Amino acid sequence: MIPAAELTDPTVRSLVTAIDDGDRAAFLAVLTPDAVLTDDGSQRDLEDWIDREIFTVNGHMDVESQSADGRSLVAGFRNDTWGQMRTTWSFTVVDGKISRLETGQA
């Protein structure tokens, strides 16, 4: 596992830290105002999704690997609703903020 503090992209590191800390405000602060989230290829309502999948159900990431640029991750993700699953995460970063998150089952 790769600790969040060792992720190479600082914006992605901040987002993963916010997830693991249960810090919704810090998560949203890392996003652009018009950020888009997809789950298994389908666009979702970002705030509804993060509340349902992360912040009301104790979401947590155990990062297994990251791409060379640090903007794609494979991680064990768990929450109180679905338990543990192997997931992929891909991030588009613009000016230090995430404008697009793509996640899905690995």
Residue range of the domain that includes 20: 4-105
Burial of 54 (0-12, 13-18, 19+ CB in 10 A): buried
Q: How many CB atoms lie within 10 A of CB 20?
A: 16
Q: Is-above-0.85 flag for pTM?
A: yes
Q: What is the pLDDT of residue 70?
A: 97
List average pLDDT for each run of 10 residues in the chain, which is 106 residues long: 96 98 98 98 97 97 97 98 97 98 96
Looking at residue 69, which CATH number applies to its domain?
Answer: 3.10.450.50
